[in-house]
Amino acid sequence: MPAATLTQMRPLAPILSVTLPETIDGPILLVPQMLLDSDTFADSNKPNQDRLAAYSHQARICLQNDHLKRLRKARTRKQKHKLNHQKTYAAAPVSNVWLSRLVNTNFLSDTFCQSADAGIIVETKRACVGRHAAHLKFTDEAMASGFACYQPQTKTMIEKLRNPSFDGMIKEPKPVECSLFNRLSRLRIDHRAAMAEARREAQSGESPLSYTQQLQLLDSIITFATGQVWMVRDTFGGRVHTPLSNIRSTYRRFLRFDGQPLVNIDVANCQFLLIGLLAHRYRSTSDTRMFLDLVESGQLYETIAAESVSEFGNWSRDDAKQNAMWWQFRNPRSRPAPEVTFIDHWMKRTFPTVAERVESLKADDYTNCARELQKLERELMIDGVAAELLSVTAQDAFVGTIHDSVMVLPSDVQIAADAIYNAFRKEGVTPPITVENDIIKTRM
């Protein structure tokens, strides 16, 4: 293909090319611009147009899901680099279960044939959307056209998108999850300010985002602007995923609940606090208590950085945190980096019971460590903190969880902090808590 043609087919930056309506009064789907310009789309009647747009939207999400799965399975840095530069563009790392019900996923459906005829989607192997997404892909021409917003026209489609069925998102939802979803559905975003900030960052180069990350950010903004929220409980450790946990943290300051901003209350050093609790449950010894005391003080990473001076010079707090995370979650059968080996030796020497518990969790499957941590995190933050907050706050107050943190209204900050303290004190620890809003970040 000539160089000029390749240049013309280079994808447009979604953040700069997509324009959201000034006033959003209905659901929006993010679809390739080429679809909206195609004769097939223009000649369809309104129901087929809506289904074709929903099909394209869902196919894009499925492609991203498959890309993330393959990225997680990549073993070498070279494989990950190759995957990161493939043309798999999509928006949400969690599939919208309610949206997949809107489209017919049969391979020979009219919807697929229409999108194939329009040159939007091509088949690489016999597949169905949502099952083998790697076998369906957008054409280069569709990618080069960029993405645009499409507002469905039929009443049935609008109602299904505006009022998704919660029953189809989580199997056997618990009362606390139902309450969290009901409050989440009332959360909105100042989409004009959020889009202005996204364009400012894209043009200034302060926070360079890949094509996929830009689409993810756009989808998050559209989700909150239209109220098309969703909730998924993963089968790995029971974590609850929502648009609130998926949106970039720097854009949470644009979220509004009945016009009021939100405050994030975070448990600092939470992963190591949880591993200390697992070790303490495994065997209560003096070194597990010392480890928990160190984490409670908020000085774990600073201590690791100070201990590493003799071998690696001056580590920053972020360096110490990154290397400690590698030690905690790495595959013990892989060759460790020298920094990870240092932390491993230091943990075995200083906190032998904690190191022993981590090794025992990884004995059969190294992912068991992360799984058990997520189960304990859910037990404390969802079944403990969120449940207490929902019971003591008013019905018109917001409560939202982001794994190891909660978001509440400014008037409920102390109530939320007390709920976190109560949940962790039942385990014998006092967690370090950080309060974050759009202005300050303080330690309570």
The pLDDT tens digits of the residues spanning 386-408 come to: 999 999 988 889 999 999 999 99
Determine which of 98-102, 212-216, 363-367 has the lowest per-residue pLDDT on average.
98-102
Confidence (pLDDT) at 395: 82
Q: Could you tell me the pTM of the whole model?
A: 0.81
| Residue pLDDT, tens place only, 199-226 | 888 887 766 777 777 878 888 898 899 8
Confidence (pLDDT) at 335: 82
Please report where in the chains the tokens 């091509």 appear, as a residue.
Answer: 122
**For the residues 284-309, what does the mean pLDDT come to?**
91
Confidence (pLDDT) at 33: 86
Confidence (pLDDT) at 112: 59
CA atoms of 274 and 294, how far apart (whole Å): 13
Confidence (pLDDT) at 350: 94
Does residue 60 or residue 298 have the better pLDDT? 298
Phi and psi dihedrals of 150, rounded to 5?
Answer: -125, 130
Q: Are 398 and 442 in contact (CB under 8 A)?
A: no
| Residue pLDDT, tens place only, 104-158 | 444 335 555 566 656 777 766 555 544 444 556 677 777 778 888 888 888 877 7
Q: What confidence category does residue 276 fall into, taking pLDDT thresholds of 50, 70 and 90?
A: very high
CA atoms of 146 and 5, how far apart (whole Å): 16
Q: What confidence category does residue 5 fall into, taking pLDDT thresholds of 50, 70 and 90?
A: very low
| Residue pLDDT, tens place only, 12-71 | 567 777 888 888 888 888 888 888 888 778 777 777 788 778 777 766 666 555 555 555
Q: CB burial class (10 A; 0-12, 13-18, 19+) of residue 363?
A: exposed
Contacts 24+ apart (CB under 8 A), 250-254: 250/207, 251/189, 251/194, 251/197, 251/198, 251/217, 251/220, 251/221, 252/407, 253/437, 253/438, 254/189, 254/190, 254/191, 254/193, 254/194, 254/197
> Beta strands of 154-198 (E only): which ranges?
187-189
Confidence (pLDDT) at 384: 94
Q: Are 308 and 344 in contact (CB under 8 A)?
A: no
CA atoms of 443 and 146, how far apart (whole Å): 43
β-pairing verdict for 263-267 and 441-443: unpaired
**For the residues 154-176, what does the mean pLDDT come to?**
75
Work out the mean pLDDT of the chain and round it to a whole number.
79
**For the residues 287-294, what does the mean pLDDT come to?**
94
How many percent of the chain have pLDDT more than 90? 34
Confidence (pLDDT) at 23: 84
**For the residues 333-357, what does the mean pLDDT come to?**
91
Confidence (pLDDT) at 91: 33
Confidence (pLDDT) at 76: 57
Contacts 24+ apart (CB under 8 A), 79-87: 84/210, 87/11, 87/140, 87/143
| Residue pLDDT, tens place only, 424-435 | 999 999 998 999
Does residue 127 or residue 338 have the better pLDDT? 338
Q: What confidence category does residue 257 fall into, taking pLDDT thresholds of 50, 70 and 90?
A: very high
